[in-house]
Protein backbone atom coordinates (compact mmCIF):
# COMPACT_ATOMS: atom_id res chain seq x y z
CA UNK A 1 0.00 0.00 0.00
CA UNK A 2 1.27 3.48 -0.89
CA UNK A 3 2.08 5.51 2.21
CA UNK A 4 2.72 9.22 2.74
CA UNK A 5 6.39 10.17 2.39
CA UNK A 6 8.40 13.24 3.27
CA UNK A 7 7.93 15.79 0.44
CA UNK A 8 4.64 14.33 -0.82
CA UNK A 9 1.73 16.61 -1.65
CA UNK A 10 -1.42 16.03 0.39
CA UNK A 11 -4.91 17.43 0.04
CA UNK A 12 -6.27 18.40 3.46
CA UNK A 13 -10.03 18.66 3.77
CA UNK A 14 -11.27 20.70 6.75
CA UNK A 15 -15.04 21.30 6.87
CA UNK A 16 -15.88 22.62 3.40
CA UNK A 17 -12.32 23.83 2.66
CA UNK A 18 -9.48 22.19 0.77
CA UNK A 19 -5.76 22.87 1.22
CA UNK A 20 -2.91 21.52 -0.90
CA UNK A 21 0.21 21.13 1.24
CA UNK A 22 3.62 19.50 1.07
CA UNK A 23 4.61 17.14 3.88
CA UNK A 24 7.67 18.64 5.57
CA UNK A 25 8.44 17.04 8.91
CA UNK A 26 9.63 20.23 10.58
CA UNK A 27 6.40 22.09 9.69
CA UNK A 28 2.78 22.11 10.87
CA UNK A 29 -0.64 22.84 9.46
CA UNK A 30 -2.63 25.15 11.77
CA UNK A 31 -6.39 25.33 11.48
CA UNK A 32 -9.23 26.64 13.60
CA UNK A 33 -9.36 24.05 16.35
CA UNK A 34 -5.95 22.47 16.15
CA UNK A 35 -2.57 21.81 14.67
CA UNK A 36 -1.49 18.94 12.43
CA UNK A 37 2.18 17.99 12.65
CA UNK A 38 3.19 16.80 9.18
CA UNK A 39 5.68 14.34 10.71
CA UNK A 40 2.69 12.43 12.10
CA UNK A 41 1.49 11.72 8.54
CA UNK A 42 4.73 10.09 7.32
CA UNK A 43 4.25 6.33 6.90
CA UNK A 44 0.44 6.54 7.05
CA UNK A 45 -1.75 5.69 4.04
CA UNK A 46 -3.56 8.39 2.04
CA UNK A 47 -7.30 8.69 2.63
CA UNK A 48 -7.28 8.90 6.40
CA UNK A 49 -9.08 10.96 9.03
CA UNK A 50 -6.99 12.83 11.59
CA UNK A 51 -9.30 14.50 14.12
CA UNK A 52 -11.46 16.90 12.11
CA UNK A 53 -9.22 16.63 9.04
CA UNK A 54 -9.31 14.26 6.09
CA UNK A 55 -6.01 13.63 4.27
CA UNK A 56 -6.04 12.58 0.60
CA UNK A 57 -3.65 12.11 -2.30
CA UNK A 58 -4.33 15.15 -4.52
CA UNK A 59 -5.65 14.72 -8.03
CA UNK A 60 -4.24 16.72 -10.95
CA UNK A 61 -7.36 18.89 -10.88
CA UNK A 62 -6.68 19.77 -7.23
CA UNK A 63 -3.00 20.46 -7.92
CA UNK A 64 -4.04 22.94 -10.63
CA UNK A 65 -6.78 24.60 -8.58
CA UNK A 66 -4.94 24.85 -5.27
CA UNK A 67 -1.24 24.34 -6.00
CA UNK A 68 0.13 26.15 -9.02
CA UNK A 69 1.37 29.71 -8.91
CA UNK A 70 -0.79 31.87 -11.14
CA UNK A 71 0.75 34.63 -13.16
CA UNK A 72 -2.00 34.64 -15.79
CA UNK A 73 -5.63 33.67 -15.78
CA UNK A 74 -5.37 29.87 -15.85
CA UNK A 75 -7.65 27.66 -17.85
CA UNK A 76 -10.07 25.93 -15.50
CA UNK A 77 -9.63 22.15 -15.30
CA UNK A 78 -13.23 21.70 -16.48
CA UNK A 79 -12.14 23.29 -19.77
CA UNK A 80 -8.68 21.72 -20.13
CA UNK A 81 -9.78 18.17 -19.30
CA UNK A 82 -12.60 18.50 -21.83
CA UNK A 83 -10.12 19.90 -24.37
CA UNK A 84 -7.77 16.94 -23.81
CA UNK A 85 -10.70 14.65 -24.55
CA UNK A 86 -11.80 16.56 -27.67
CA UNK A 87 -8.22 16.68 -28.95
CA UNK A 88 -8.07 12.90 -28.47
CA UNK A 89 -4.88 13.15 -26.41
CA UNK A 90 -3.66 9.72 -25.44
CA UNK A 91 -0.41 7.95 -24.61
CA UNK A 92 2.35 8.76 -27.09
CA UNK A 93 0.69 11.71 -28.88
CA UNK A 94 2.47 14.98 -29.74
CA UNK A 95 0.55 18.16 -28.95
CA UNK A 96 1.37 21.81 -29.62
CA UNK A 97 0.16 24.53 -27.24
CA UNK A 98 0.50 28.33 -26.97
CA UNK A 99 0.49 30.52 -24.91
CA UNK A 100 1.66 28.51 -21.96
CA UNK A 101 0.62 31.12 -19.37
CA UNK A 102 1.03 29.61 -15.89
CA UNK A 103 1.22 26.11 -17.37
CA UNK A 104 -2.15 24.73 -16.21
CA UNK A 105 -3.05 23.42 -19.66
CA UNK A 106 0.43 22.00 -20.23
CA UNK A 107 0.09 20.01 -16.97
CA UNK A 108 -3.14 18.40 -18.13
CA UNK A 109 -1.73 17.65 -21.57
CA UNK A 110 1.48 16.23 -20.03
CA UNK A 111 -0.63 13.81 -18.05
CA UNK A 112 -2.82 12.90 -21.05
CA UNK A 113 0.01 12.03 -23.47
CA UNK A 114 2.06 10.11 -20.88
CA UNK A 115 5.79 9.44 -20.71
CA UNK A 116 6.13 8.56 -24.40
CA UNK A 117 4.19 11.62 -25.62
CA UNK A 118 5.37 15.22 -26.02
CA UNK A 119 3.91 18.65 -25.26
CA UNK A 120 5.52 21.57 -27.13
CA UNK A 121 4.42 24.80 -25.50
CA UNK A 122 5.35 28.44 -26.28
CA UNK A 123 5.22 31.45 -23.93
CA UNK A 124 6.50 34.76 -25.27
CA UNK A 125 6.75 36.72 -21.97
CA UNK A 126 9.88 35.84 -19.97
CA UNK A 127 8.29 36.62 -16.58
CA UNK A 128 5.39 34.28 -17.29
CA UNK A 129 7.65 31.65 -18.85
CA UNK A 130 9.60 31.48 -15.56
CA UNK A 131 6.42 30.86 -13.57
CA UNK A 132 5.32 28.16 -16.01
CA UNK A 133 8.76 26.54 -15.82
CA UNK A 134 8.55 26.38 -12.00
CA UNK A 135 5.01 25.03 -12.05
CA UNK A 136 5.97 22.36 -14.59
CA UNK A 137 9.11 21.39 -12.64
CA UNK A 138 7.09 21.03 -9.44
CA UNK A 139 3.94 19.41 -10.74
CA UNK A 140 4.30 17.87 -14.24
CA UNK A 141 3.62 14.15 -13.94
CA UNK A 142 6.17 13.29 -16.67
CA UNK A 143 9.29 14.83 -18.15
CA UNK A 144 7.59 15.28 -21.53
CA UNK A 145 7.08 19.07 -21.84
CA UNK A 146 9.28 21.18 -24.15
CA UNK A 147 8.82 24.82 -23.06
CA UNK A 148 9.92 27.66 -25.35
CA UNK A 149 10.33 31.27 -24.19
CA UNK A 150 9.35 32.85 -27.50
CA UNK A 151 6.27 33.52 -29.61
CA UNK A 152 4.97 30.47 -31.41
CA UNK A 153 6.42 30.01 -34.89
CA UNK A 154 6.15 26.89 -37.04
CA UNK A 155 9.87 27.12 -37.93
CA UNK A 156 10.83 26.39 -34.30
CA UNK A 157 9.18 22.98 -34.25
CA UNK A 158 11.14 21.86 -37.32
CA UNK A 159 9.91 18.66 -38.86
CA UNK A 160 7.54 17.74 -36.03
CA UNK A 161 4.02 16.90 -37.19
CA UNK A 162 1.54 17.26 -34.36
CA UNK A 163 -1.42 15.06 -33.52
CA UNK A 164 -3.27 18.06 -32.06
CA UNK A 165 -2.92 21.73 -31.13
CA UNK A 166 -4.44 24.07 -28.55
CA UNK A 167 -4.29 27.86 -28.74
CA UNK A 168 -5.02 30.24 -25.86
CA UNK A 169 -3.99 33.75 -26.93
CA UNK A 170 -6.06 36.92 -27.17
CA UNK A 171 -5.93 37.13 -30.98
CA UNK A 172 -5.50 33.63 -32.44
CA UNK A 173 -6.71 34.32 -36.00
CA UNK A 174 -3.30 35.39 -37.43
CA UNK A 175 -1.97 31.92 -36.43
CA UNK A 176 -4.58 29.78 -38.15
CA UNK A 177 -2.47 28.90 -41.19
CA UNK A 178 0.73 28.43 -39.14
CA UNK A 179 -1.02 25.98 -36.80
CA UNK A 180 -2.56 24.21 -39.79
CA UNK A 181 0.91 23.79 -41.34
CA UNK A 182 2.31 21.78 -38.38
CA UNK A 183 -0.65 19.42 -37.91
CA UNK A 184 -1.10 15.93 -39.32
CA UNK A 185 -3.96 15.55 -41.81
CA UNK A 186 -7.37 15.60 -40.10
CA UNK A 187 -5.79 16.47 -36.72
CA UNK A 188 -7.96 18.32 -34.19
CA UNK A 189 -7.28 21.86 -32.99
CA UNK A 190 -8.81 23.69 -30.02
CA UNK A 191 -9.00 27.40 -29.21
CA UNK A 192 -9.95 28.97 -25.90
CA UNK A 193 -11.70 32.33 -26.18
CA UNK A 194 -13.18 34.30 -23.29
CA UNK A 195 -15.47 36.55 -25.34
CA UNK A 196 -18.07 35.99 -28.06
CA UNK A 197 -16.59 38.56 -30.45
CA UNK A 198 -13.29 36.62 -30.40
CA UNK A 199 -15.19 33.48 -31.39
CA UNK A 200 -16.90 35.31 -34.25
CA UNK A 201 -13.61 36.71 -35.54
CA UNK A 202 -11.93 33.30 -35.40
CA UNK A 203 -14.84 31.65 -37.22
CA UNK A 204 -14.26 34.06 -40.11
CA UNK A 205 -10.63 32.90 -40.43
CA UNK A 206 -10.93 29.11 -40.13
CA UNK A 207 -11.89 28.33 -43.74
CA UNK A 208 -10.32 26.84 -45.87
CA UNK A 209 -7.93 25.41 -43.28
CA UNK A 210 -10.24 23.70 -40.79
CA UNK A 211 -13.65 22.02 -40.90
CA UNK A 212 -16.02 20.18 -38.56
CA UNK A 213 -16.20 23.24 -36.31
CA UNK A 214 -17.85 23.08 -32.88
CA UNK A 215 -18.16 25.80 -30.26
CA UNK A 216 -19.03 24.78 -26.70
CA UNK A 217 -19.12 26.20 -23.23
CA UNK A 218 -18.66 23.90 -20.25
CA UNK A 219 -20.90 24.70 -17.29
CA UNK A 220 -20.52 22.77 -14.06
CA UNK A 221 -23.19 23.07 -11.41
CA UNK A 222 -21.96 21.91 -7.99
CA UNK A 223 -24.35 20.50 -5.38
CA UNK A 224 -24.17 20.44 -1.59
CA UNK A 225 -23.55 16.77 -0.72
CA UNK A 226 -25.89 16.78 2.28
CA UNK A 227 -28.39 13.89 2.10
CA UNK A 228 -30.97 15.79 4.15
CA UNK A 229 -30.65 19.14 2.35
CA UNK A 230 -29.46 18.10 -1.10
CA UNK A 231 -29.55 21.17 -3.35
CA UNK A 232 -27.25 23.21 -5.63
CA UNK A 233 -24.51 25.37 -4.15
CA UNK A 234 -25.62 29.00 -3.83
CA UNK A 235 -22.89 30.22 -6.16
CA UNK A 236 -21.32 28.85 -9.32
CA UNK A 237 -18.78 29.90 -11.91
CA UNK A 238 -21.05 31.22 -14.63
CA UNK A 239 -18.62 31.70 -17.50
CA UNK A 240 -14.94 30.98 -18.03
CA UNK A 241 -14.47 30.75 -21.79
CA UNK A 242 -15.79 29.42 -25.09
CA UNK A 243 -14.00 26.43 -26.54
CA UNK A 244 -13.80 26.11 -30.30
CA UNK A 245 -12.75 22.79 -31.83
CA UNK A 246 -12.12 21.98 -35.50
CA UNK A 247 -10.19 19.51 -37.65
CA UNK A 248 -7.52 20.07 -40.29
CA UNK A 249 -8.67 20.01 -43.92
CA UNK A 250 -6.08 19.10 -46.54
CA UNK A 251 -5.77 21.57 -49.41
C1 LIG B 1 -4.41 33.36 -20.86
S2 LIG B 1 -2.72 33.00 -20.90
C3 LIG B 1 -2.68 31.26 -21.16
C4 LIG B 1 -3.07 30.44 -19.95
C5 LIG B 1 -2.68 28.98 -20.08
N6 LIG B 1 -3.39 28.34 -21.17
C7 LIG B 1 -2.88 28.21 -18.79
O8 LIG B 1 -3.59 27.20 -18.79
O9 LIG B 1 -2.31 28.59 -17.75
C10 LIG B 1 -2.20 33.60 -22.48
C11 LIG B 1 -0.68 33.63 -22.61
O12 LIG B 1 -0.34 33.65 -23.99
C13 LIG B 1 0.89 34.34 -24.13
N14 LIG B 1 1.01 34.66 -25.56
C15 LIG B 1 0.30 35.58 -26.27
N16 LIG B 1 0.63 35.52 -27.58
C17 LIG B 1 1.57 34.54 -27.70
C18 LIG B 1 2.31 34.00 -28.81
N19 LIG B 1 2.13 34.46 -30.04
N20 LIG B 1 3.18 32.98 -28.58
C21 LIG B 1 3.36 32.51 -27.32
N22 LIG B 1 2.71 33.00 -26.24
C23 LIG B 1 1.82 33.98 -26.42
C24 LIG B 1 0.72 35.50 -23.17
O25 LIG B 1 1.97 36.05 -22.79
C26 LIG B 1 -0.02 34.84 -22.00
O27 LIG B 1 0.87 34.42 -21.01
Residues 23 and 108 in one domain: no
Residue 33 has what pLDDT? Answer: 83
CB 101 within 8 A of CB 168: yes
Over residues 170-183, the pLDDT tens digits come to: 999 999 999 999 99
Q: How far is the CA of 128 from the centre of ligand 1 (A)?
A: 9
Q: Is residue 15, in this structure, part of any structural domain at all?
A: yes
Of residues 158, 165, 156, the one with CA closest to residue 109: 165
Task: Return the pLDDT at 166.
Answer: 98
Contacts of 155 (CB under 8 A, 6+ apart): none
Q: State the Cα torsion 175-176-178-184 to the nearest 10°.
A: 140
Nearest-atom number in ligand 1 for the CA of 80 is 8
Q: 147: Cβ below 6 Å to ligand 1?
A: no
Question: Are 74 and 47 in the same domain?
Answer: no
pLDDT over 90 (residue 61): yes
Instruction: Pick the last residue of a domain from 19, 36, 58.
Output: 58
> From the alpha carbon of 192, which atom of ligand 1 is closest?
6
Mean pLDDT of the chain: 96
Domain boundary among 58, 77, 96: 58
Helix (H, G, I), strand (E, B) or coil at 184: coil
Residue 22: predicted pLDDT: 96
Say yes or no: CB of residue 193 within 6 Å of ligand 1: no
Residue nearest to atom 12 of ligand 1 (CA): 99
Answer yes or no: do 153 and 54 share one domain.
no
**How many domains are contained in the chain?**
2
Indicate if 52 and 143 belong to the same structural domain: no
Query: Cα of 56 to ligand 1 centre, how many Å?
Result: 32
| Closest atom, ligand 1, to C-alpha of 166 | 6
Residue 154 beta carbon below 6 angstroms from any ligand 1 atom: no
Q: Is the pLDDT reported for residue 249 higher than 90?
A: yes
Is residue 172 domain-shared with residue 195, that is, in the same domain?
Answer: yes
Q: Please tell me whether residues 101 and 157 are part of one structural domain.
A: yes
pLDDT band, residue 72 (cuts 50/70/90): confident
Confidence class for position 59, pLDDT limits 50, 70, 90: very high
Determine the structural domain holding residue 121 and report its residue range: 65-248
CATH classification at residue 227? 3.40.50.150
> pLDDT for 81-137, tens place per residue?
999 999 999 999 999 999 999 999 999 999 999 999 999 999 999 999 999 999 999
Amino acid sequence: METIKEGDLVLIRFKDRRYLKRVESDKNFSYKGGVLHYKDLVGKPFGITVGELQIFKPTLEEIILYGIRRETQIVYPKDTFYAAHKLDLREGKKVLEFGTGSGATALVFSSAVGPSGKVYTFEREERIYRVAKKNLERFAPYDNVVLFNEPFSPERVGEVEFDAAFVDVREPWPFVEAVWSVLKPSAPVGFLLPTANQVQELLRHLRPFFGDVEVVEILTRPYKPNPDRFRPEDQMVAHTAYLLFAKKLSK
